[in-house]
A and B are shown apart, each in its own frame.
Chain A
Amino acid sequence: MKRELLGVIDATTYHDDLEDLLTHRSLAALPFAGRYRIIDFVLSNMVNSGIRSVAIFPKMQYRSLMDHLGSGKNWDLNRKRDGLFFFPSPIVDFDGNKIGSFENFAANLDFFYRSTQEYAIITNCNTVFNMNFRPILDWHSRSGCDITEIHHKDGGSMEMYLIKTSLLIKLIETRNETGYTCMNDVVNDLQNLYSVCHYEYDGYAVMIDSIENYFSTSMNLLQSEVWQQLFPKDQPIFTKVKDEPPTKHVKGSEVRNSMIANGCVINGSVENSIISRGVKIGKGAVIKNCIIMQKCQIEENCYLDSVILDKDVKVEAGTHLSGTAQSPFVIRKGTQQGALMNS
């Protein structure tokens, strides 16, 4: 098919800095903004750009990612032709931080042979942004470049590459002769045979690679300019649907400058925080500058400042926990925090 894009998401990325949040999941499945996983942004962008075939290449710890994506139905990718493809890496030991590893793609070369889309866009999985790829495809095909690398106006590469599918296949096939191991090798080789162009993107975009920037990017959501750029009505971010009721603000609760997902029951006070689905906050509890993930239970009279609670954490009544913006206090998934544990 002419002028169609194939979506390729490299979900092998891992950052040691995020270890506390990645013991049970891959980076792609990291919860973000109360009801999403990080991969929802790039995946929804692809769908909103008219991409109908998306291949995801994960590595290790992909149970939560698979559970999240399912058949792709929530992204309208459960199609008879094309749709969502999931290619877990058969190679255990390779450098996961090179986006677009040819060795990894090579294990599923048949998929690329079979794809009818003329162009492919290869991206990482951990960027928070809302971008339509269609204008880049137009720009790319007009420019006559072999490869377009998306750059951010404030920084360097966004680790996203637009390329003809046939050229991608050639790069994968010839990886042993050329020595190129990934897309990054190709675009950074000054001697290479291919013309590489940079497309400059000036919208909001952050690559999540540490607890500190996960925390600050989450807090940025509370600024309406950021919020409006990430969640415009005409380019929604899709995610796995949960059937939670609307959030109940109980008598005596107080909420300021916060984002709250569905299914929460709020008795205490919440300020400058991101609260995920199904969180229960007890009477007299104070939550400030926190990220509280799904189904956490915070009992009465707790005080939490600059804390990240991973999923299913239970905080017993009267517990005080504090971190800082540079180093938020992170509580791992499924644990229990007692008032006496940290005193």
Chain B
Amino acid sequence: MAKKKCVAMLLAGGKGSRLNSLTKELAKPAVPFGGKYRIIDFPLSNCANSNIDTVGVLTQYQPLLLNSYIGIGSAWDLDRKDGGVTVLPPYAESSEVKWYTGTASAIYQNLNYLKQYQPDYVLILSGDHIYKMNYENMLEYHIEKRADVTISLIEVPWNEASRFGIMDTDEDLRITDFDEKPDNPKNNLASMGIYIFSWNILKEYLEMDERNPDSSHDFGKDVIPMLLEENKKLFAYPFKGYWKDVGTVKSLWEANMDLLSEDCDLDLFDHGWRIYSVNPNQPPQYISSDAIVKESLINEGCTIEGEVDKSVLFQGVTVGKGTIIKESVIMPDAIIGSNCLIEKAIVQEDVKVPDGTVIRSFDDEIILVTNEMLSGLYPAF
């Protein structure tokens, strides 16, 4: 197998339990976003655009849809003779099945995958975040700093800091302290869960971590603190731009609404950094003579006969006559009947909303519309 300078490992096994029924049957990286994408399209497209052509995707929770979505990686131009995409599920060894118990153990169990490519560097990514980033620049930075590990960081609002790994750095951006999800954060510089490891360090420390019975085998909680303790060279790579962890229904809704603002930092129309996705091949959207569409993002295959205002519609959505959809996200192939009102909601994939349904939120909560929820509203339906 040809040697690769840098191999990416994409952690895509997360459940995302705070997304409720959105992730009942699919892993968080497979959650639809932005009218045509799934979250994992962002890190995969970033890899393709950063000239990283070898990507291991580690799956565990509800992998069916994710596996078929990734396929052989052709959507992201990652179907390569050498390298390309490899889906890496947990596997059984002679005596036991080894589930991925933490982020570090997931990579540890795939060291053999990495060894095939004799990489100099390993880029570790999470499949949970929406952002555009040039990993090639980060790798250059890592090499320039002669770092053992480089961690990308972003400034987050103070009130959210305790949800993240928080870093302290010196003037040279060398990391002096790292607290995973601290109760009282010392600053608001958060880890984005993107690491570049020099291969020897990664291998050595993952093996060490694996031998430690007290470890939870997590990069943020175990491996990074151990590296800091041993005075390894950890550098922070500051990132500026749009970055969102869509961990909850509300934040998923917000991230979709962000796309509608005129000065959105996440430019999906940038031809120099396209976000690729599996194309559903549907006809253009049809907007009827009765329809009204305002400030919305609408994908192919939609048929709109009602009013759509400040909303994001995925492929194949039908909106009936007299229906009003406001500040909502309608996921693929949902059928909204006529004379409905849907406000501040996320309608899940393939949901059929009967004529005359009214769904609106009176507080700031975002309503998740599912078939189960509708069958509660319409017992006979």
Contact = CB atoms under 8 A, between A and B. Distances in A.
A251 B298 contact: no
A246 B298 contact: yes
B296 interface: yes
A296 interface: no
Contact of A251 (B36, B295, B297): B295
A243 interface: yes
Contact of A249 (B36, B289, B298, B314): B298
A247 B297 contact: yes
A238 B283 contact: no
A263 interface: yes
Contacts of A253: 293-294
A294 to B, nearest CB: 12
Contacts of A238: 281
Given A243-B274, A255-B287, A257-B289, A249 B279 contact: no
Instruction: Classify the interface of chain A: helix, strand, loop or mixed.
Output: loop
Given A260-B287, A265-B269, A250 B282 contact: no
B103 interface: no
Nearest to B277: A243
A245 B36 contact: yes
Interface in A200-243: 222, 224, 227, 230-231, 236-239, 241, 243
Nearest to A241: B279
A219 to B, nearest CB: 13
Contacts of A260: 284-285, 287, 298
Contacts of A236: 281-282
Interface in B262-283: 262, 268-269, 274-277, 279, 281-283
A256 interface: yes
A46 to B, nearest CB: 16
Contacts of B74: 73
A257 B279 contact: no
B289 A237 contact: no
Contact of A35 (B36, B268, B283, B289): B283
A231 B283 contact: yes
Nearest to A272: B289
B296 A245 contact: no
Contacts of A74: 281
Contact of A241 (B281, B284, B285, B293): B281
Nearest to A251: B295
A260 B281 CA distance: 14
B291 interface: yes
B286 interface: yes
A45 interface: no
A259 B281 contact: no
B220 interface: no
B34 interface: yes
A262 interface: yes
A262 B293 contact: no
Contact of B298 (A241, A247, A274, A275): A247
Most buried by B among A237, A253, A255: A255
A231 B315 CA distance: 14
A286 to B, nearest CB: 16
A261 B300 CA distance: 6
Contacts of A255: 287, 291, 293
22 contacts: A33-B283, A34-B284, A35-B283, A35-B300, A237-B283, A241-B279, A243-B275, A243-B276, A243-B279, A247-B285, A248-B260, A249-B294, A249-B295, A251-B294, A255-B293, A256-B288, A256-B291, A259-B284, A261-B284, A261-B285, A263-B269, A265-B269
Given A256-B287, A259-B283, 6 more contacts: A73-B74, A243-B274, A245-B275, A255-B293, A256-B288, A263-B269
7 tightest Cβ-Cβ pairs between the two chains A and B = A246-B35, A245-B268, A34-B284, A246-B299, A257-B289, A261-B284, A241-B279
Interface of A: 33-35, 73-74, 222, 224, 227, 230-231, 236-239, 241, 243, 245-251, 253-263, 265, 274-275
